[in-house]
Structure 1
Amino acid sequence: MPDRIHRPYFDFSEELNFFWTSLILLLFVSMVTFLRYVFLNSLITCWTPAQFEFQHNVYTHQECWNQDRVMVDGFDNLMPDHEFRPNSFNDKTFHRWIPIVLVFMMLAFQIPRAFKIMTDLLLGIPTAMVREDIGTNSRADRAQELADTIKEAGERNRVIRTMIFFLVKILVGLNIIIQISFVKWYFRDSVQIIGRDNETLVTPVHMFPKTIRCHFEIRQVQNVHEYLVQCKMPVNYLLEQFLFIFWFWLLGVGIYTGLVFITQLASLIIPPFVRLRFRGIIPDKYLSQRGFCFDDALLYLWDVEHSSGLSMAREVAVKLWNPPPLVQPGIGAHNPHMVQNPVHNEAVCSYNPQSIPMRTLDSGGTSSQPLLDPRLNKT
């Protein structure tokens, strides 16, 4: 069975942020939009005068739905009904704009993903560029091809991919923090201070009023009839409950994403956690020598494990850190300094090529002192 080439998400935290959270917002906005244009009376229900005909009722519901400023029940003691006019109504409703706000929240979750896709297009995904040809390439050949590709990418990009990986995680975390704060502090009841005739009124502002009073006018020839009708807002029940539940969803996703980020950061940088994460994949000899550093090789190897499985990652790691013989055959007798760099990859942070005994070219034996390459002695 062919190996899986590449996953659209590096881990489940990215899938939660980029796919599932965006899908939840999209489904809810689609549902509210469908209810709005198919079942209008289920989103707002107004009590109309008895003389209203069907067209009057439709107009009343449409007009009251589209109003931004309304009177909320409970303020009867502040101002008589006959003094209420559209420019003096003391509360706003946001039922028309909340679905649009949710769409922008959904798009905000796609910003880190867009940055990730853009960098992948610019730098490429080396481990995804290697395809498995079942008819010609063996598993060992593909492992060698992956190892060579990772070495080449490591020499070219060094630590750029790892830094971009962490930057994407930071963008995801910032987006969650901002969205949690936005839902918590914006979609809540508050108070406002109104000055009128040298009097100061402190009135509550309901983000999701359930009962409102709607003022509108109907002109017939030269006669203008004013109406103040009472309306129920079932849609605000729906919006309030969704945002309440969605805040806890964001909180859970944020905690999980933070834990995953801390674990990944430690697994790619801090030596004890690197040894714990890559034990059984990278040869123990290399893990024991690794210091406090980070490089793209670990991230590429991690990606191979995600995309092609643990066994393939082990084979690639063996070929990365157990290189071929150091002497190029047929050249040593003429040029004693022509030796092959054991791991020609700057990504190997703690590797010291002078600490490994090399075979001398004059006697054919093994010297206790390494054969030094002038290029390696440069300080």
Structure 2
Amino acid sequence: MSIEAAVIALAQFDFGGKIRDDDYIDVMNHLVTPGLLLLAATATYLKQLLGDPIHCWVPTEYKERDNFLNYIEGYCWITPMYNVPMEKEIPKLEEDRNDYTMGFYRWVSVCLLLQALSFKLPHILWKTWKGFSGMDPDRIIKMAADGDMEEQEEDEDGGRNKEMRERGTGGEPKEKEKKKTDNKKIGPVAAFIDRRLITTFRRRKRGGICAKLNVFSKSSGYFLTIFFLIVKLMYAVVIVAQFLVLSKFLKINFFQYGVTAAMKQTDWTRWEDDEVFPRIALCDFHIRQLQNIQTFTVQCVLSVNMFIEKIFMIQWVWFLFMLLLTSVGIFRSFVDKLSRYRRILFIKKHLTIGQDFVEFWPPPRAFTPSTSLDKNRSPRDIFRNLSDKQRSHVKRLIRNETFQRKFVREYLQADGVFILKCIHNNTSNMVLMDILFRLVEHYMVEQELVHEQDGDGDDHLRLGSATL
């Protein structure tokens, strides 16, 4: 199993449902990375709560009294400590010691939780706003998936019926094979997509050049695609923001932290306390006595900082890996979603497969040809009554590259192809081709490439002449 398949399988383990309208890089950003950060936050919190995050060296008079030791360690843990290098003298004044204060280690769990939330924000924005495009991917994919399940059940039932017929007695004639009927759940999906596409097409035609250039308009045909690409860019922005925020939080250049830390870890010739995550720190505490208040300074070992240091080292490596992976994913997505050539290639591929290999189109003939001119008849009903000559002409038209370009450029646009690719990723090729050919039928009828003829001729349907 590839890494991509493993990540998608993890995403479908039902953290967000089985409907996927993103790729494995998005899943790693909004699911895997927050999961790792939550795991690190939990481990850090348990280390601080159940472990011994601090050990202090106390004055001689307090060594034999455990209650004083517990008090000192508890007090030093909840108050800011300060780290003065061994080669420097400890400042006399308390105000001067504030220049060396440190206390970030107490907030690491909260920091990790906020980081996990920040990686979820682009995905939450996508889930919340994608429906405002008027073409809700979740609803369409769910309807298509229901149709896919119906086809699978029909195939299973057909296989069982065939097996039962083959087991019949030799003297009895075999039952006539039942023709596979149209999937009743696919028609509404295609009709729903068509309504949105044709509405967008008409608005864009009325709006002129301004409607075509405004890609953020719902009638542009690019709204959903551009929004999807913006969300992908947001993942990269979130990763870069992690480096900037951690640089401020830890008071270092986090962009270079991984390299510097690795060099220190591999230097076995000498040991020195880490400046970013110091193991040794000083703590001042006050004891109130009858006559005065005495101030004591103790030296403490922060063992939790060794654990925190490893977390941020792993985090640096992971964020760098995710930044590179996300950058590659953004480039691929921009090429795939905005390239008209790739959109046409995708549609052409499945039109060819549907006609030449699977014999998916044309649809089966109606048992009783209709001769009425009912305006409410669906495009599928019209195409089921085509003559052999008309069917042959339509098949040639579908193979025509000029027709395919117009079909993608004027009708589907970027958003229509985006939806079809989502359907392809969540269902089967058969469902995709069923919907695609129904959309072709809708487009031909609406563009009057195929329409009914008034009169009593032999063919009650005729083909319009389209200027391609």
Q: TM-score range by the shorter chain?
A: 0.7 to 0.9
Which residue of 274, 277, 287 maps to 1:218?
A: 287
3-state SS of the aligned residue for 2:350? coil
2:190 counterpart letter in structure 1: A
How far off is 1:16 after superposition? Answer: 0.7
Equivalent position of 1:298 in the other structure: 417
Once the two structures are superposed, the pairs formed by residues 137-176 of structure 1 within 5 Å of their partners are 140-154=183-197, 155=199, 157-158=218-219, 159=221, 160-176=223-239
Q: Which residue of 2 aligns with 1:342?
A: 444
Taking a change above 3 Å as real, the CA distance of residues 95 and 152 of structure 1, as seen in their structure-2 partners, is same
Q: Which runs of 5+ in 1 are unaligned?
A: 191-203, 325-340, 345-352, 373-379
Question: Could you tell me which of 85, 97, 100 is aligned with 1:88?
Answer: 97
The equivalences for 1:61-140 within 5 A come to 61-76=73-88, 79-80=89-90, 83-85=92-94, 88-93=97-102, 94-120=104-130, 122=132, 123=134, 124=136, 125-130=138-143, 131-132=146-147, 134=150, 140=183
Identity of aligned residues (%): 17
Q: CA deviation at 1:19?
A: 1.0
In 2, the alpha carbon distance for the partners of 1:138 and 1:92 equals: 76
**Amino acid paired to 1:88:** R
Over aligned residues, Cα RMSD in angstroms? 3.6
Q: What is the aligned partner in structure 1 of residue 270 from structure 2?
A: none
- CA separation of 1:369 and 1:145: change in aligned 2, threshold 3 A: closer
Query: What TM-score results when the alignment is normalised by the length of structure 1?
Result: 0.73
Deviations 1:127-184 (A, max 9, x none): 1352347489977333333222221233355433222222221222211222234345
Indicate if the aligned counterparts of 1:214 and 1:229 stay in contact, CA closer than 8 A: yes
2:311 alignment partner, one of 208, 231, 242: 242
The alignment of Structure 1 onto Structure 2 pairs a total of residues equal to 325
- In structure 1, the residue matched to 2:72 is 60
CA distance in 1, matches of 2:463, 2:124: 54
- Between stretches 43-52 and 115-124, larger displacement belongs to 115-124
TM-aligned CA distance change 1:183 to 1:276, over 3 Å: farther
Alignment of 1:309 with 2:428, yes or no, is: yes
Asked whether 1:370 is paired with 2:370, we answer no
Partner of residue 230 from structure 1, selected from 295, 299, 306: 299
TM-score by length of 2: 0.60
SS across alignment from 2:83: strand
Q: CA deviation at 1:65?
A: 1.4
Residues 279 and 229 of structure 1: CA distance in aligned 2, closer, same or farther (over 3 Å): farther
Q: Which runs of 5+ in 2 are unaligned?
A: 1-13, 155-179, 201-217, 254-272, 353-398
User: Residue type matched to 2:58 in 1?
Assistant: T
Distance 1:63 1:236 in 2: 18
Q: 1:153 to 1:54 in 2, by over 3 A?
A: farther
118-127 vs 262-271, which moves further: 118-127
1:27 equivalent in structure 2? 39
Task: Give the conservation status (yes or no) of the 8 Å contact 2:56–2:72.
Answer: yes
- Measured at CA, do residues 297 and 48 of structure 1 come closer, stay the same or move farther in structure 2, by a change above 3 Å? same
Q: CA deviation at 1:291?
A: 5.6
SS of the residue 1:301 aligns to: helix
Is the partner of 1:217 in helix, strand or coil? strand
Counterpart of 2:267?
Answer: none
Q: 1:85-138 deviations in whole A, cap 9, x for unaligned?
A: 265343132111232222222111121122112114545334135234748997
Instruction: Look up the match of 2:328.
Output: 259
**Contact 2:239/2:323 (<8 A) preserved:** yes
CA distance in 2, matches of 1:161, 1:280: 23
Identify, as 1 or 2, the structure richer in helix: 2
CA spacing shift, 1:255–1:142, aligned 2, 3 Å: farther
CA distance in 1, matches of 2:330, 2:111: 28
SS of 2:293's equivalent in the other structure is: strand
Q: Which amino acid aligns with 1:310?
A: N
CA distance in 1, matches of 2:329, 2:278: 39
